[in-house]
Amino acid sequence: MKIARFSRLGFILAAAGSAVGLGNIWKFPYIAGEYGGGAFVLIYLVTVLFIGFSILIAEMLIGYLGRRDTVSSFEVLASKNKKLWRFGGFQALAGLFIMIFYSVVIGWIFNYIVTSLTYLPSSVEEAETIFTTMLHADFWTQFFYHTLSFLFITYVVHKGIKGGIEKLNFYLMPALMLILAGMFLYATTLGAFSKAITFMFEPDYSKVNSEAFVVAVGHAFFTLSLGMGAIMTYSASLEKGANLVKSAFWVAFLDTLIAIVAGLMLFTFLYQYGSGPAQGPGLVFISLPAAFYEMGILGNIFAVFFFIALAFAGLTSSVSLVEPMVQYFIDRFGWSRMRSSLSMGVFFWFFGIFAILSNIDGAKEMLTWGGKSFFDWVDYVTAAIMLPIGGLIMAVFVGYIIPQSEVERVVKPQLGWAYKPWLFSLRYITPVAMFVVMLSLMGVI
């Protein structure tokens, strides 16, 4: 049976779709402004180049050489202690765990697409009331849209590499970029555009500290969708002779470009029609809808297109979060793609219900421990522990464990003179950076 392979463009769009998620559209702009604007952006770009890009190539290499699921790829490529190194492949569990709350958030976005068609809150206070009511009191709305998210994602994944994942990204990624480009061009015509540029890019060195460096490293790593086996699994389906370095460059470039464009567009609208920046969910679900209201009927149109773009970003990331464990059960246990896709989908759907309940008044008390809800605990464990460990494992594995003749054979002709700096970064800079990020996110330092 012929194994389905990504086309070159299909892989770049799928990998970029994996990297471009919900965090790109609101988290990057906010933390850039909080940690020194242009100074932080410069730090971020350097960390993308020397840390994020290094691990991105390493993860692609493991998948490309292994040609199997994450667990089997580690086992096959390890030059020693094969049974021990196969456990490195279980980083794929991180993506499945992330889906527990990610699917719920995509459900929120679906809900906002529908409601924005006819209604927008007239103030930030009203928008906050609407969002908090949904979050803490409206279980059934969240359940319905979470289930819709589960059905869509499971259907796409069960269709496979060519018929599902590549086709989804072939349509949704260009659509996402087109929507953001259109809204960005409109933003450039507004008076607040220059203020948004100042907010994101004017250096404020007084805000640059050790924490800013940790945040930059962490975000550069997480925004590229590393440490969860997604890029590795996609790379296993690359055609022979694929240029990993060029593909990695385009993924990193598109990921960063979309984050910057989205940030400039959002903050232009907020400065022009709203009260300025807000953090996290408050930006997307509270401040922004109130800003769209001030635009009149055009605001409803923009709101619908914006939340559609946000849904596209979430969905393209979601299929990559589920695929690694789907492929694992196909390769290791001989499951059909339908059985594996449905099983993984039911897993994140079922535990996603508990994530919803952990925010609902009357139920959240039973699902809260140590000051964190079940929703928050899943987010914390994946971001602070599982993903950094995944990145650390990949850096060590490619830097020291895979036969270096194999690494050099594939990567050196593509990197040229930059091969030695890349290997140095992978062996010495990246492991230390990932360890520091993990300790920082855990609150140890």
Over the stretch 260-311, which tens digit does the pLDDT of each residue have? Answer: 888 888 888 888 887 666 556 667 888 889 889 988 899 999 999 999 998 9
Question: Does residue 36 or residue 262 have the better pLDDT?
Answer: 262
pLDDT value for 149? 97
Q: Is residue 1 part of a domain?
A: no
Confidence band for 333, pLDDT divided at 50, 70 and 90: very high
Question: Does some domain include residue 3?
Answer: no
Asked if residue 50 belongs to a domain, the reply is: yes
Of residues 336 and 166, more confidently modeled: 336
Which residue range(s) make up the domain with 146?
A: 8-441
Q: How many domains does the chain have?
A: 1
Output the pLDDT for position 167.
87
Domain membership of residue 132 (yes or no) is yes
Q: Are 4 and 160 in contact (CB under 8 A)?
A: yes
**For residue 67, is it within any domain?**
yes
Q: How many helices (H) and strands (E) does the chain have?
A: 24, 2
pLDDT band at 423 (very low <50, low <70, confident <90, very high): very high
- 154 domain residue, yes or no: yes
Average pLDDT over residues 366-389: 90
At 77 the pLDDT is: 94
C-alpha dihedral sign at 431, 437, 443, 445: positive
Task: Please determine, for residue 111, whether its predicted confidence score (pLDDT) is greater than 70.
Answer: yes
Q: Is the pLDDT of residue 1 over 50?
A: no
2 domain-assigned: no
pLDDT at residue 96 in the model: 95
Residues 285/108, Cβ–Cβ less than 8 Å: yes
Q: Is the pLDDT assigned to residue 23 strictly greater than 50?
A: yes
Helix (H, G, I), strand (E, B) or coil at 120: coil
Higher pLDDT, 441 or 179: 179
Q: Please, where are the H alpha helices in 86-238?
A: 92-116, 124-137, 139-158, 160, 167-187, 193-201, 210-223, 230-235
Instruction: CATH number of the domain at 178, please.
Output: 1.10.4160
Residue 196 lies in a domain: yes
Tens of pLDDT, residue by residue over 124-166, are 889 999 999 999 999 999 999 999 999 999 999 999 877 888 8
Q: What is the pLDDT of residue 279?
A: 59
Lowest-confidence segment of 86-100, 165-179, 356-370 by average pLDDT: 165-179
The CA distance from 353 to 279, in Å, is 25
Q: 221 falls in which pLDDT band (50, 70, 90)?
A: confident
pLDDT of residue 2: 47
